Amino acid sequence: MQHTKTAFVFPGQGAQYVGMGKDLYDNYPLARELMVQANEELGFALTDIMFEGSDEDLRQTRVTQPAIFLHSVVACRLLNQIRPDMVAGHSLGEFSALVIAGTLDMGDALRLVSERALAMQEACELCPGTMAAVLGMADDKVAEICQQIPDCVVAANYNCPGQVVISGSEVGVEQACKALKEAGAKRALKLPVGGAFHSPLMQPAAERLQKAIMNTPFYAPICPVYQNVSACAEKDKHVIQRQLLEQLTSPVRWTQSVQQMIADGATRFYEFGPGDVLKGLIRKINAEVEVG
């Protein structure tokens, strides 16, 4: 009988909510210890904002990214009895995946996440942009239409069949939404985000983050990591390090990553972190697998 493989997956920005992680902090000494360490590492009380900040406070990129990362890693660390056969994370979630795979030390990863958040915030101010969700159109058709728009716009997140997020300049996204609707997309709606994530407009963030990533020790993972950039099983720490940087300006190939994990034997997926966005996407990618 074929061994059933277990995949751990971790969400990205957008999964946050006020009160996130408070139950873990209150009930588990390990969670409290890791969260207190994170506050010290960051130099501000991240947990105060997570537990009782306003939605607006929690939506600031410099807060959101470390908060989701911390919640995800802590939730996974508390489940010690299962070891994953493979891991993946959606955008920011890739950092959580790399900690659980043993490729990054938790403190180092938290510092990188914090630096990434600040770098992305700065890039958003330097190169303003936006994103839009496109529903009911094939992935390659969305990418093809984006390529025809003169202004900067790209397919940025392949979330599940029939759901692609595009990213670029205000004008580029506006023109692409119009063209996509004319070409038969069910909907093309702008998202309430502060910038053009996973597009060439994030190049200043990649430049700022490069030194930090290259100066951080990376270790060989204990299991394959399915990265956003390639959607393939990666085990070489140098490739993982390079693709973690490339991820800022490249699309998140989530559909392709999940399909590849299933092709490589994954029958069970566990999502760790706030919310359950990825569970929904995985069910749409393949209704046969077990999602928990």
Check which CATH number belongs to the domain holding 89 and give it. 3.40.366.10
Q: Give percent of the chain with pLDDT exceeding 90.
A: 92
31 and 152 fall within a common domain: no
pLDDT for the residue 145:
97
Two structure tokens written together for 96: 């959580």
User: Nearest to residue 63, comparing CAs of 132, 116, 136?
Assistant: 116
Please give the residue range of the domain that contains residue 174.
130-190
Q: Are residues 184 and 264 in the same domain?
A: no
Quickly state the pLDDT bin for 80 (edges 50, 70, 90): confident
Output phi, psi for 135, to 5 deg: -115, 145
Task: Say whether pLDDT at 65 is over 60.
Answer: yes
Looking at residue 1, its pLDDT comes to 42
Residues 104, 221, single domain; the answer is: yes
Q: Say if residue 25 is in the same domain as residue 106.
A: yes
Q: Does one domain contain both 183 and 211?
A: no
Query: Quick one: pLDDT at residue 3?
Result: 72
Clarify whether residues 222 and 82 are in a common domain: yes
Q: Where does the pLDDT of residue 14 fall: very low under 50, low under 70, confident under 90, or very high at 90 and above? A: confident
CATH code, 179: 3.30.70.250
State yes or no: pLDDT of 185 exceeds 60.
Answer: yes
**47 located within any domain:** yes
Out of 77-81, 141-145, 178-182, 224-228, pick the least confident: 77-81
How high is the pLDDT of residue 81?
Answer: 77
| Active-site residue (options: 71, 72, 90, 91) | 91
Which residue bears the tokens 């910038």? 195
Asked if 31 and 104 sit in the same domain, the reply is: yes
Query: Does residue 250 have a pLDDT over 50?
Result: yes
Active-site choice (167, 198, 199, 250)? 198
90 catalytic per annotation: no
**Is residue 195 in a domain?**
no
User: Do 34 and 121 reside in the same domain of the chain?
Assistant: yes
Quick one: 111 exposed, middle or buried, by C-beta within 10 A (0-12, 13-18, 19+)? middle
* pLDDT score of 2: 56
Whether 89 and 209 map to the same domain: the answer is yes
Residues 121, 136 within the same domain: no
State the residue for tokens 């070891």.
83
Provide the pLDDT for residue 194: 81
Domain total for the chain?
Answer: 2
**Please, what is the average pLDDT of the chain?**
95
Checking if the pLDDT of 37 tops 60, the result is yes
Domain stop point among 143, 165, 190: 190
Instruction: List residues bridging with 206 in a β-sheet.
Output: none
Residue 112 and residue 217: Cα distance in Å, rounded? Answer: 11
Q: In what order do the strands lie in the sheet with 187-190?
A: 153-160, 163-168, 130-135, 187-190
**Tell me: the pLDDT tens digits for 196-226?**
999 999 999 999 999 999 999 999 999 999 9
Residue 91 bears catalytic tag? yes
What residues are paired with 168 via a beta bridge? 130, 153
Residue 230 shares a structural domain with residue 245:
yes
For residues 22 and 44, state if they share a domain.
Answer: yes
pLDDT category of residue 4 using cuts at 50, 70 and 90: confident
What does pTM read for this prediction? 0.96
